[in-house]
């Protein structure tokens, strides 16, 4: 089983901020289950996230209610390849005030360290993940939904991931930082 760290991506509020069109953000129309959604996306996010994953040995994955639709409607528009998807829409309830996606993320990570970019996480999510037996080290990056993902968020993730032990990618053994 891989111990590569994960970088988990939300769409709405993170890659699709709630703001007006700018030079970096472009409007796109996405069709999901017959409904049309207007989203704002920054084409620079894909290469920056790909570089983050490559440089830190991490694996990108979707943690969004868009689920598999993110691979069809979001990823190609910002230059991301098809990514693994965490199914989060099956159980919208909470147990201790955590976001409904948090339990699904805790099950998915299976002991792997992870960074989670989301705009809707808080103390209950942190506590739930900290107490969950299948969760190792993690960093929750709180993204302001008005501005979306910024270089500051990416730097925060890069620095945190750089502080983790190098994953065993080639079978030669893990090195210390």
CA distance 14 to 47: 15
Residue 61 lies in a domain: yes
For residue 150, the model assigns a pLDDT of 96
Which residues have CB under 8 Å from 65's CB, separation 6+? 11, 12, 88, 89, 101
Can you name the residues that pair with 91 across neighbouring β-strands? Answer: none
Write out the chain's pLDDT in tens, 177 residues: 568 999 999 999 999 998 766 778 898 999 999 999 999 999 999 999 999 999 999 999 999 999 999 999 999 999 999 999 999 987 766 677 888 999 999 999 999 999 999 999 999 999 999 999 989 999 999 999 999 999 999 999 999 999 875 544 433 332 222
- Inter-axis angle of helices 45-56 and 151-162, to 10 degrees? 10
Residue 173 lies in a domain: no
Residue 154 lies in a domain: yes
Residue 141 lies in a domain: yes
| Entry pTM | 0.89
Q: What is the CATH number of the domain that holds 100?
A: 3.40.50
Q: How many domains does the chain have?
A: 1
Q: Do residues 25 and 41 make contact, with C-beta atoms less than 8 angstroms apart?
A: yes
Q: Domain residues for 29?
A: 6-162
Residue 167 lies in a domain: no
Residue 22 lies in a domain: yes
For residue 151, the model assigns a pLDDT of 97
Q: Do residues 157 and 117 make contact, with C-beta atoms less than 8 angstroms apart?
A: yes
Residue 84 lies in a domain: yes
For residue 165, the model assigns a pLDDT of 56
For residue 71, the model assigns a pLDDT of 98
For residue 174, the model assigns a pLDDT of 29
Residue 101 lies in a domain: yes
């Amino acid at each position: 089983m891989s111990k590569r760290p994960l970088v988990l991506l939300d769409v709405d509020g993170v890659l699709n901020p709630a703001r007006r069109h700018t030079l970096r953000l472009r409007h796109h129309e996405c069709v999901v289950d017959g409904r049309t959604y207007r989203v704002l996306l920054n084409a620079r996010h894909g290469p920056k996230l790909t570089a983050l994953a490559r440089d830190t040995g991490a694996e990108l994955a979707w943690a969004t209610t868009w689920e598999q639709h993110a691979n069809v409607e979001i990823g190609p528009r910002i230059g991301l390849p098809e990514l693994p998807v965490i199914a989060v829409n099956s159980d919208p309830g909470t147990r201790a005030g955590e976001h409904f996606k948090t339990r699904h993320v805790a099950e998915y990570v299976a002991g792997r360290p992870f960074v989670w970019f989301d705009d809707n996480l808080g103390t209950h999510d942190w506590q739930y993940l900290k107490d969950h037996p299948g969760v190792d080290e993690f960093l929750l990056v709180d993204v302001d939904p008005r501005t979306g993902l910024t270089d500051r968020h990416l730097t925060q993730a890069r620095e945190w991931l750089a502080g983790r032990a190098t994953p065993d990618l080639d079978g030669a053994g893990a090195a210390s930082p």
